[in-house]
A and B are shown apart, each in its own frame.
Chain A
Amino acid sequence: MLQLDQTWTAATLPENDNVNPYAFSVALNGSWFISKGAMIAYYGRITFEAIAAFASREAWVAAQFSSPIYVQDWVVANGQGKLVLADRGFDVNSYDIDAGNLTIKATNLLAFDAGLELKQSIVPGFVTLIGTGKFLASSNGPVIFKEPPFRADPEALLGWADCPAPSHHHDAAWMAANLMSAAQGIFGRTSGEERQFDFTGAGVILLQSSEMTRSDPATLRLIESQAAVLPVQQKQTLAQRLTAEVQQSQQQQRR
C-alpha cells in the first residue's frame, strides 16, 4: 500500500535506499554527480556547484566527468546530509557497479557517486560509467533485464552492461522499400518500428516498459559538434535540408 505512513526526518530518511518507488534518498558524505533538476529536497550542509566551477578547484573532477556535451546538465553535490532525488514520478532504482562498466541513456541517469567515471558512449545519447560505485537511474515502469542476442526498441532501451555496443538493425521490408530512396539520399520515412538496436555477445540489456523518453538537450550539442567536421558545401546542403524540413512541418501544423 502506498500510503503516507511516515514523516521523515534527516535521521530517519533511508541511507542510500528508496523512499518510495519514485524517490531515492542518498546519504551524502563527500561528492556525488547529480543531474540538474533531479534534486527535490535535502537536509544538511550540501553545496551544489557547476561541474566546471568545481573542477577548477578539484582537479579530479575533470578526469571523472569526461563528457563536454553533458557538463552543462550536471552539478556536483558536495557535503554531508540526506539528498532526495526524483525524476518526473518515474521509477527510480539504484545500481552498483563493481570494477565494471555500464552504458545508460543520458536522460535516464539521475546521479552517480564519485567512484565512477563518466564517458560519452559511441552511441549518441548514451553515456558509459566505469569503475566501482553506485548510480541512480529512472525508468518509466519497472526495468526489464534481457540477455543477448536481443533486439531492442531505441525508445525503450535504457542501457547495457558488459556486452559490446549495439549495431543498428533495420527491418528487411523497410530496407527493400527504402533502398531506392536511400540511394537517392532521401531518408526519414519512418513508421517508428523499422529500426532496432541489435545486441550480440554476452552481457545484460536494460529496458524500460514504455517508450516514453525525455528530450535530451545534449543531442543538439552533439550533432552540432559532429557537423563541424563537414566541409562548407555539405554544411550548406544540410542547412537547406533542415530549413525545408522545418518549413514542411510548420505548414502541416497550419493545416
Chain B
Amino acid sequence: MSFLTLENVSHLYFSKQNYTKALSNISFSVKEGEFISILGPSGCGKTTILSVIAGIIQQTKGKVHLKGKPLDQSTMAIGYMLQQDYLFPWKTIIDNVLLGPKITKQNDEELKQKAIDLLETVGLEDVALKYPDSLSGGMRQRVALVRTLITNPEILLLDEPFSALDYMTKLTLEDLVFALLRDYQKTAILVTHDIAEAISMSDRLIIMDTNPGTIAQIIEIPIELRNERPFLVRRHPKYQKIFDKVWHELNKYEQNFDQKGSV
C-alpha cells in the first residue's frame, strides 16, 4: 500500500477577472521512506502540490490519501519547510523549535531535551537561548529543520529549503538533511528548480509542465545513485547522463512555457 497517493488532483485559483488552473489531474504515489523531487518551470504549481498535501489549501478536485485515509481524516504530523527559515525573531531558538509542540499543547521537559539533542545532531550547540538574529543563514535553516523534525512528522515537505543559502552551506545542508531523513526513515517530497540537487537527493523525480500544471514525466534515479550522499552523487559516473536527460526534458517544457506565455 502506498504511503501517500494523489488521485486526479486539480486546483484552481480564482480572481475577479479570471481563474488560473494551477494543477490539472495530478496523480502520483509515494512509498514509505521514499524521497521524491518535483522539478519544473516556475508557476507550474509545485508549491500548490505541497500546500495541498500539508492541508493548508483544499484542492478543487481529486483525492489525497495518507496511509489509506483521506487527508482531512488523517491525524498524522506533517513537516513543512519553506524557502526561508521563517524563524520567529522574537522567540529564542529553543522556543522556535518547540513551536509545533506548543501549538498541539504538548510542552514538557522531555521534549525540551529532545530539542537540545536534535540541535546538537545538526551541529548547533549552545544556541538554545539565543535569538535568530544572531545566527547565520545556514544555522537558521538548520534550526528550521529541527523545528520541523521535533513533531516527529511521518512526511516532510521541503519547499526549496536550500535555495536562499550560499553554495557551500547548501551542499553541507543537503548532506545533513539526506543523512537525517535516512536515519529516521522519513518520507519526503522536495520541490526545487535545482536539477543537481534533485538528482543527488532523490529516489524519483517528477517533472512538471506548466499552464496548467501537469506531470510531464517521472524519472527513476539509478539505485547506485540513490544511496550515495548528495555530495558524492554529483561525482558519480552515472550522474552526468541523468543530468543531461533531465535538462533536456525541462528545456522542452521551459520552451513550451514561453510559447504558452505569449498567448
The judgment on whether A and B are partners is no
Q: Which residues of A contact B (CB under 8 A)?
A: none
Chain B residues engaging chain A, CB cutoff 8 angstroms = none
